Amino acid sequence: MAYDTLDRPKSLAARLDAELRHAHPTSVIAAALEQFGDKLALVSSFGAESAVLLHLAAQVSKDIPVLFLETGMLFGQTLDYRKNLAAHLGLNDVRDLRPHYQDLATADPKNDLWKRDTDACCHIRKVLPLDRALVDFDGWITGRKRFHGGDRLSLPVVEQADGKVKFNPLANWGKAELDAYAAEHELPAHPLVAQGFPSIGCWPCTQPVEEGEDVRAGRWKGLEKTECGIHVARAPGAVVNLGGDI
């Protein structure tokens, strides 16, 4: 493994971004794997565009751990898609990350926190489970893209976040490239895409998108919220456990 613990995440990320900012996504994934080996994970929602990144990663290695946030509020179609797509691509290490029981009992005993505080709901169902899982990794891969807009418009290919190196292999790709790649490799689509869902999260906070709207317009519609929180930098020493280790 080429990763040198003396090469701090910030300087390493800057160097890798300079080297990889125009590279093909498979080259970015290969470089990430070369740097971090078994300390690298890929985070996937198994959503509308996930098949492309997962297929690209599988061309590099089918053994890269894939972290899937099973919030307990996903569409049934997403759970089926996760199972079927993982088998189709031959992914060997897909890990379902679930919120801790005590966190839910403490903060969301009636499963209705999403109605009152979407940020808090995402925190216990997504942010905390991912933070716990990422303790075992030094680098991770995401499926974010600049064309999604919002805070993602200036997205680098490689960045430093919360002391880890984060790779965004598809940052440079637009919808045309994604669609062409999916068609070329005959990748199965998420079943909700045909029903007008170009971006898919938890069922209470995801709606179909009208023609002409932004790809992520159906996420937390009517709110200023545009991210669930897993891609938002947190203060050093932030608490990552509301309840206990259950």
Please give the positions annotated as active site: 228
Answer whether 109's CB lies under 8 Å from 242's CB.
no
CA distance 223 to 225: 5
Q: Mind spelling out the 3-state secondary structure of 167-203?
A: ECCCCCCCHHHHHHHHHHCCCCCCCCHHHCCCCCCEH
Q: Which of 189, 184, 185 is nearest to 46 (CA)?
A: 189
Q: Which residue has the tokens 């995401």?
A: 142
Query: Which two structure tokens, joined as six digits, stand for 76?
Result: 């049934």
The b/e string for 113-132 (b: 16+ C-beta within 10 A; e otherwise) is bbeeebebbbbbbbbbbbbe
Return d(Cα 66, Cα 53) in angstroms, integer.
11
